[in-house]
Structure 1
Amino acid sequence: MAKYELPINSRMLKSDFVFGVATSSYQIEGGAEEGGRTPSIWDTFCAVPGKVDNGDNGAVACDHYHLWKQDVAMIAELGVDAYRLSIAWSRIVPRDGEVNPEGLKFYENIIDECHALGMKVYVTLYHWDLPQYLEEKGGWLNRETAYKFAQYADIVSQHFGDKIDVYSTLNEPAVSAFLGYRFGIHAPGIKGNKEGFLASHHTMLAHGLAMPILRKNAPNSMHGLVVNAWPAYAESEKDQFAVELSEAESYHWFVDPVLKGEYPAIVKERYPYDMPMILEGDMAIISAPIDYLGVNYYSRNVVRLNEHNVVEKVVLEDVEKTHIGWEVYPQGLTDLLVAMKQRYDNLPPIYITENGAAGDDSVTDGEVNDTQRVNYFQTHLKATHDAIEAGVQIDGYFAWSLMDNFEWAFGYEQRFGIVHVDYTTQTRTLKQSAKAYQAMLVERAAGNK
């Protein structure tokens, strides 16, 4: 095994710090018409010309539906402590009021195999693949969908209970609500500020409604929420308001209601005519206590107010970027985590639930030399360590992603995996980043003995 010089020795982190890898159902599973699964909004969205690069879809993806056992073995060989995956809602509840035992069995097999190989399982209940039959009733614009989610959470947690070590209600509600219902970039492709904010409130309500159900059915598991955050930086001193508004819209809007019981005032003042109807008791439901907060970090935004008093992102030149065009900025992760601790007196333990880089990766002589990704992980683990040193409680780190997969509107052009996937043959090839991660974990295991 090659020796990788790491700027941070993993043993500097506490011995029970969790290292893992992450995936999501629609991005890897395939088997779209197998096992009793019915369509999700992403099946429908992918069929609309021009919505996804190259007309790609997740019908086959990484064929994890059939190759799950070899994939779980591959994860275990990396030496990680945990595997973070999501459950496809429409595999479990293929039609309203109907439970699919075959879908439950599929995930049970994966969970049991992970446990047999010594790994914990972190399950996300909703990673953007809303059943299409619910979208036809309004999707997240329909308040009833929040209650349907609570029923789905009840079905899953009644079946698995504490067998799932850690439950996440939602992954990145900012993306599913705003990219899906405000900006139209993701499924179901709806555009409108009013629609986006309404969808966001209903997703947060869904989270809150599910929390007491999960606690009742899985009292020994941990329960929480995963948000994505892009910290904002001002282009110049006069752009501080742009920073405050950018962060308030992109992630305070989703964390404040949980940890402070309110939506940020700056957003309500900015969009007074687009605010959702909030019923009495909603905020109390949403602010149910959580055991942890998952934070997904990839990069930062540099922002300014333009001549129309609108926040716009500044495209930086002469900075390192990944293949997807995002700046490599590890300091942003430290800044973000420290700022969150300062903002929230009741900040629970944090897990970095996604962190990774897209590359233009290919296999040459059986190797994938993704040097940039190796460096990306090294510097971001150092940034995580710096935040811990600054007093933030961080209990784990998950690399995104286990393997190349369907990257939503980008299709298969963007490769985030530490494992390369040949989509024609479904051959998996560990990239140098996977080997570096593995080497770090082997070193850590040896040091902990």
Structure 2
Amino acid sequence: MPGITRRVRFPANFLWGAATSAYQIEGSPLADGAGPSIWQRFTRTPGMMANGDTGDVACDHYRRWKDDVALMKRLGLRAYRFSIAWARVLPEGRGRVNAKGLDFYSRLVDELLRNDIVPLPTLFHWDLPAALDDRGGWLNPDIADWFADYANLVYAKLDDRVRQWATLNEPWVVTDGGYLHGALAPGHRSKFEAPIAAHHLLRAHGAAVQAYHANGKHRIGIVVNIEPKYSATQGAEDLAATKRAEAYMNRQYLDPVFLGAYPEELREIFDEAWPAWPDADMALIRQPIDWLGVNYYTRNVTRFDANAYPLRAAPVKQDATCTETGWEVFAQGLTDTLTWIKQRYGNPPVYVTENGAAFYDPPRAADGRIDDPLRVDYFKTHLAAVSEAIAQGCDVRGYMAWSLLDNLEWSLGFAKRFGIVHVDFATQVRTIKNSGKFYADVIATNGDVLNGA
């Protein structure tokens, strides 16, 4: 990273791993009695998915899970962050339990532990059971209880072997993409629905944490995506726009969890669509958590734009290297994010639960190599950024590369590859990319290889 010359160091017990999510890799969405999720519906909605791709097969992980764990072992992973498909466990989202679906995750946890890999399950990673969407989904206030019931069922099955849980993954994406802009499942477009969905996601998180505190034996937290906002200028309108953008994406989900209140800027953003929430709801959301997961990919340089809905704030494109998803490569933003969390929220234990990049992967070389130098460089600079945050006193305890496998990148389909392992989607052959080999060296040396890179 520019301006950083100190040696890259990580604590001796730093947890190195990689991450995936259920719908993006598992395939077999209705196998063994599972129910459909909103993503089965969304992928069949004309015009919503690149190339008409679906997760029906994806990486076929539901059938190839044991081989995939062996692959994790080859990479030297110490942890594996995955998600549990709610509809695989409860086909109708509540009530009837699908024992075969729950057993799948139990077998996966056992296999991870046999290979000395820490299981890090997330209870919800965007794939809401379709039957619950029929009841209003995240717009129905009862969903907090439904989620807690589902969580309790999974805790009872796995908490004897799982030491660290996450409730939700990236609730901002669920609401912004799924309820405000319609780009992700369930595909709604409503300024009035978005704050309601966000609030009920946070209530569900609080209810699941409360349920875990009643019977669980270990640690629980939440995973959010943070995109630091930098004002394009020091002009009053740009600075105000930047505050709105930061409140909407970052503080909307962390302030209630840690501070018990929503940012004031949300009233300005949503205007007549912003509801008044009861104090009891805020108390439920502000359950003590044991750790925070941070997903970081890029930054946003922000300017005022009167026509940008609903924030009146818009990004300014930078003259910089960008990934295939159009995201600027900006490692300093990860250090800034981690130090901001330390300063604003009292330095909670943090894990970087996703960090990675989609770049073009060249064809496999004659010797079988897949050379992806841009992704290798991305990991080098971003891991140095994590080390810098630790040196500044941030309590960062682990790092999960996104993603273990090339997978279904949601509405972008299979065209964008984030994996440190290449997947040939026609044959399901896995090939460790050079970035995967590099990351294996990082793990084996606890990051010391970065000092010679």
Cα 1:444–1:394 shift into 2, 3 Å: closer
What secondary structure does 1:242 align onto? Answer: helix
| Whole-angstrom CA distance in 1 between matches of 2:336 and 2:144 | 33
Aligned pair in 2 of structure 1 residues 217, 389: CA closer, same or farther (>3 Å)? Answer: same
TM-fit CA distance, 1:216:
2.8
Counterpart in the other structure of 1:378: 380
Determine the C-alpha separation between the residues in 2 that align with 1:240 and 1:364: 49
Contact 1:37 1:91 in 2 (8 A): yes
1:31 aligns with 2:10: no
Whether the aligned pair in 2 keeps the contact of 1:201 and 1:276 (CA below 8 Å) is no
Q: C-alpha separation between the residues in 2 aligned to 1:409 and 1:190? A: 14
TM-score for both structures, normalised by structure 2:
0.94
User: Match for residue 253 of structure 1?
Assistant: 252
CA distance in 2, matches of 1:179, 1:208: 22
> What SS class does the counterpart of residue 116 from structure 2 fall into?
coil
Query: RMSD across aligned C-alpha pairs, in angstroms?
Result: 1.6
Q: Which moved more, 1:388-397 or 1:358-367?
A: 358-367
| Equivalent pair of 2:357/2:375 in contact (CA under 8 Å) | yes
> Hey, what's the Cα distance between the residues in 1 that align with 2:447 and 2:320?
36
Mapping of residues 400-419 of structure 1, within 5 Å: 400-419=402-421
CA shift, 1:445, in A, is: 9.7
Where 1:19 maps in the other structure, the secondary structure is strand
- Which amino acid in structure 2 is aligned with residue 319 of structure 1? A
CA contact (8 A) 2:342 2:348 kept: no
In 2, the alpha carbon distance for the partners of 1:373 and 1:380 equals 11
CA distance in 2, matches of 1:9, 1:412: 38
- Residue 443 of structure 1, CA deviation: 2.6
The equivalent position to 2:425 in structure 1, one of 423, 426, 434, is: 423
1:215 & 1:81 partners in 2: Cα distance?
A: 26
Matches within 5 A, 1:278-317: 278-308=277-307, 310-316=312-318
Q: Which residue of 1 aligns with 2:188?
A: 190
CA contact (8 A) 1:82 1:120 kept: yes
Tell me how far apart the structure 1 counterparts of residues 83 and 432 of structure 2 sit (CA, whole Å).
Answer: 22
Shift of 1:272: 2.8
Residue 267 (structure 1) aligns with:
266
In the TM superposition, residue 307 of structure 1 has moved relative to its aligned partner by 4.3
Deviation track 1:301-352 (CA, whole Å, cap 9, x = no partner) reads 1110024581111122x3101111111000000111111212223x411100
1:132 aligns with 2:133: no
Q: CA deviation at 1:444?
A: 3.3
Output the amino acid matched with 1:236.
Answer: T
Q: 1:306 to 1:269 in 2, by over 3 A?
A: closer
- The aligned residue for residue 51 of structure 2 is 54
User: 1:237-269: per-residue Cα shift (whole Å, max 9, x none)?
Assistant: 111112111110001000000000000011123
Provide the residue aligned with 1:433 in structure 2.
435
Q: Does the 8 A contact of 1:178 with 1:197 survive in 2?
A: no
Instruction: Indicate yes or no: 2:208 matched with 1:207.
Output: no
| Distance in structure 2 (CA, Å) of the matches to 1:320 and 1:385 | 22
Q: Distance in 1 between matches of 2:306 and 2:212?
A: 48
Identity, in percent, stands at 45
CA contact (8 A) 1:68 1:110 kept: yes
1:35 deviation in Å? 1.7
Distance 1:230 1:367 in 2: 33
Helix, strand or coil: the match of 1:130? coil
Per-residue CA distance 1:135-184 (angstroms, 9 max, x = gap): 01111011111211111001100111231121000000001122101111
Amino acid in structure 2 at the alignment position of 1:261: G
Partner residue in 2 for 1:85: 82
Matches within 5 A, 1:65-214: 65-95=62-92, 96-214=94-212
Separation of aligned partners in 1, 2:424 and 2:262? 44
Q: Which whole-Å CA distance do the structure 2 matches of 1:165 and 1:419 have between them? A: 26
What corresponds to 1:367 in structure 2? Answer: 369
One-letter amino acid of the structure 2 residue matched with residue 352 of structure 1: V
Give the structure 2 partner of residue 397 of structure 1.
399
Question: Separation in 2 of the partners of 1:9 and 1:373?
Answer: 21
Structure 1 residue 8: Cα displacement: 8.6
List runs of 5+ in structure 1 lacking aligned partners: 1-6
Seen in structure 2, the aligned counterparts of structure 1 residues 8 and 46 have a Cα distance that, compared at 3 Å, is farther
The equivalent residue for 1:18 is 15
Q: Would you say the 8 A contact 1:19–1:81 is kept in 2?
A: yes
**Deviation per CA, 1:119-138, whole angstroms, max 9, x where unpaired?**
11100000000000000111
Q: Report the Cα offset of residue 81 of structure 1.
A: 1.1
Paired with 1:412 and 1:381, the residues of 2 have a C-alpha distance of 26
Q: Tell me the distance in 1 between the aligned counterparts of 2:216 and 2:417.
A: 35
In structure 1, what is the Cα distance between the partners aligned to 2:234 and 2:7? 37
**Aligned residue type for 1:165:** R
Equivalent-residue separation in structure 1 for 2:320 and 2:276 (angstroms): 42
The one-letter code matched in structure 2 to 1:337 is: L
Corresponding residue to 2:230 among 227, 230, 233: 233
| SS of residue in 2 equivalent to 1:50 | coil
**1:115 partner amino acid:** L
**Shift in Å, 1:217:** 3.0
In the alignment of these two chains, the number of paired residues is 437
Alpha carbons 2:358, 2:416 under 8 Å: kept: yes
Distance in 2 (CA, whole Å) between partners of 1:388 and 1:117 is: 28
Using the alignment, how far apart are the partners of 1:444 and 1:140 within structure 2?
Answer: 41
